[in-house]
Amino acid sequence: MASIRVIPRLDVKAPNLVKGIHLEGLRVLGKPADFARRYYEQGADELLYIDIVASLYGRNNLIGIVEDTTQDVFIPITVGGGVRSVSDIVALLRAGADKVAVNTAAVKRPEFLREASQAFGSQCVVLSIEAKRQPNGSWEAYTDNGRERSGLDAIEWARRGESLGAGEILITSVDREGTQKGYDWELVRRVSSAVGLPVIASGGAGSAEDLSRAVHECGADAVSAAHLLHYGKLSIAEAKRALASAGLAVRP
């Protein structure tokens, strides 16, 4: 069994690391690079940077932050928010990113996923899906940091993203994000069952047990957390010990 990855999620607005609930009501926490270094030193497997207003304003402001981070952080970094073109990807990779997470641009033009994967390899392209549960029990994919409806069924969109060349799926429950009530278990399970790609569970982690449950019961290959880590409720080492105690393989 492949090692389960523990991935801190760092949502960024302008120069600041922020955290909210349901991707809203943001609170400034500090400098993103400072948190990134702390998580690297604690043993994080990867980092996830998301510019949460990039699509709204039509640009990504993370290049400088990524350059700063990679001076002394040496684990894979995925960057999302405002990635709209091959040239955007080139700029982020040159800054030190290893992968890009694409949401809004892929919904608007799905062929962008194919173009990106052909240019940089599927391993570089993460399809980010921000999902909200609908009254009929399905999930709709949203864009612009959970602000705009896409009309796409999130599970079907994950399948299509795989066929278009995405190498990984980041599935975020907007309903659970920031609540610490646990991931949307059924959503993670449905996406994991629908695709043959690695799936990162995101949105709602409130305990070490939530992390292991996302893997054991729902089939996630990686777990992303923000509030749990940013506020010091759990360290990376504690998260990995909990996963190992649950019988899961983790990296040292």
Q: Which residues are catalytically annotated?
A: 11, 130
**First CA to last CA distance, the chain:** 15
* Angle at which helices 185-194 and 154-164 cross, to 10°: 30
199's enclosing H/E stretch is: strand 199-202
Q: What are the C-alpha distances in Å from 107 to residues 87, 116, 130, 150, 246?
A: 18, 14, 11, 7, 37
Contact 71, 36 (CB under 8 A): no
Task: Residue 121: count other Cβ atoms within 10 Å of its Cβ.
Answer: 12
Tokens representing residue 191 in the block: 């996406």
